[in-house]
Amino acid sequence: MVSLPKDFIWGFATASYQIEGSIDKDGRGPSIWDTFCAKPGKIADGSSGVTACDSYNRTAEDIDLLKSLGSQAYRFSIAWSRIIPKGGRNDPINQAGIDHYVKFVDDLLEAGITPFVTLFHWDLPDELDKRYGGLLNREEFPLDFEHYARVMYKALPKVKNWITFNEPWCSSILGYSVGQFAPGRTSNRERNDVGDSSTEPWIVGHNLLVAHGRAVKVYREEFKPTNGGQIAIVLNGDATFPWNPTDPLDVEAANRKIEFAIAWFGDPIYLGHYPESMKKQLGDRLPTFTEEERALVYQSNDFYGMNHYTADYVKHKEGTPAPEDFQGHLQTTFWNWRGDCLGEETQCPWLRPCAPGFRDLLVWLSKRYNYPKIYVTENGTSIKGENDMPREQILEDDFRLNYYDSYVKALATAYTLDGINVGGYFAWSLLDNFEWAEGYETRFGVTYVDYENGQTRYPKKSAKHLKPLFESLVRKD
């Protein structure tokens, strides 16, 4: 009988720009996503986070929703530009922004819900991007992030679970290589007239790691002795299977894809250096850690934050890698050499359910990083055509329910049979919300949000399935 540990905690996750709205209320400054959304053609339906789920004004409603679903914890992110509207360490602090999150944390705790707070979920204050290039600046950015982190630790001493950055891969690759996310820099001149996909993403990734290290050092030295608690970064990546498991080059490529997605950040934190496969392909385009930077980054996780959604079959490529290649010189597909398909289609072209891959990746990470405590900080799915269905049909989201069921049971199997050290699980997402470049056309929520009629919330079938699911798996003894 598979199970989960008795101290296991579960809940739902969201991000500030995707749900809060109120982009100029109470002194909030603009973020790079406000600027990016204002550019024609960047967001699928031409929308933005101006209103989103109106969660800034509905914290009580969201807490009531969490309570009704039995949620033990809630992962949300702070909007940096609500706290320091211009972002920098010498810029004014906005007390109204701090007060909002202080009250929200107090209200969550009063409701018996444990907050997991993400400091940065992609919405950099726009002023820092304009002032010195934002994430591209190796000197200024880590210091400004450290300052912002210190302000938040001081303001929220009751928070015991901190996350520095959400998915640095997305900030680096989608923001500075593909150009699909803010600030949209890329070598593709049809998308943007500035950017260098061959160098910038690797610089950004390095700077995010150093900024993470600085924020963790401050927490451990100045706050943890008094407050206790834990802090980590959240990394994302797909599970992989060789396209042809009898071809050693495909086997190697499947491993290399995880290294380019996850170990890019995981290896410096847990092993003290970048993966050899990245050094080999990128050469001097991959920055080198100074001794001070290495010391900041190495061993800077108290737990492993894992965002995971899907899997790929991976086929090696011949020849020389392109300068803008960020995957590790390979190609991905949902079909293998025999024509087997990984899973059913969803609304997202990149996402197909494959719970066995989730278990495999949990084992891969645990073996590589000496079995750290893993919190699954995001996991969930979209449903093909969901946004075009009538509400009654959307609420009967059996596809999502089955996704959660299979993935959570794969997690329990990994704990019971593979010895994985698991601490918690957060379903993505509590609410249908602004899905970045996909706008509002894609829904990930366990709760339907009626954008046309005042952002009213309606829990879907999947929302009500998670409490009994975890009750059946979490050990009582």
The residue assigned the tokens 């992609």 is: 122
Enumerate domains of the chain plus CATH numbers.
9-473 (3.20.20.80)
Is residue 321 a contact partner of residue 281, using CB atoms and an 8 Å limit?
Answer: yes
Find out whether 10 and 106 touch, Cβ atoms under 8 Å: no
Q: What is the pLDDT of residue 413?
A: 98
Active site residue 293: no
Catalytic residue among 378, 386, 435, 438: 378
Residue among 308, 386, 313 nearest 347 (CA): 386
3-state secondary structure of 116: strand
Cα gap 173→185, rounded to integer Å: 10
**Candidates 20, 127, 167, 200; catalytic one:** 167
CA–CA dist 384, 367 (Å, integer):
35
Residue 378 falls in the annotated catalytic set: yes
Instruction: Give long-range contacts, CB 8 A cutoff, 24+ apart: 336-341.
Output: 336/241, 336/243, 336/244, 337/243, 337/244
Each of the 477 residues of the chain gets a pLDDT tens digit; together they read 999 999 999 999 999 999 999 999 999 999 999 999 999 999 999 999 999 999 999 999 999 999 999 999 999 999 999 999 999 999 999 999 999 999 999 999 999 999 999 999 999 999 999 999 999 999 999 999 999 999 999 999 999 999 999 999 999 999 999 999 999 999 999 999 999 999 999 999 999 999 999 999 999 999 999 999 999 999 999 999 999 999 999 999 999 999 999 999 999 999 999 999 999 999 999 999 999 999 999 999 999 999 999 999 999 999 999 999 999 999 999 999 999 999 999 999 999 999 999 999 999 999 999 999 999 999 999 999 999 999 999 999 999 999 999 999 999 999 999 999 999 999 999 999 999 999 999 999 999 999 999 999 999 999 999 999 999 999 998
Measure the CA angle with vertex 176, ends 347 and 250; round to 5°. 65
Alpha-carbon distances of 447 from 104, 395, 396, 459, 475, rounded to whole Å: 20, 8, 11, 4, 27
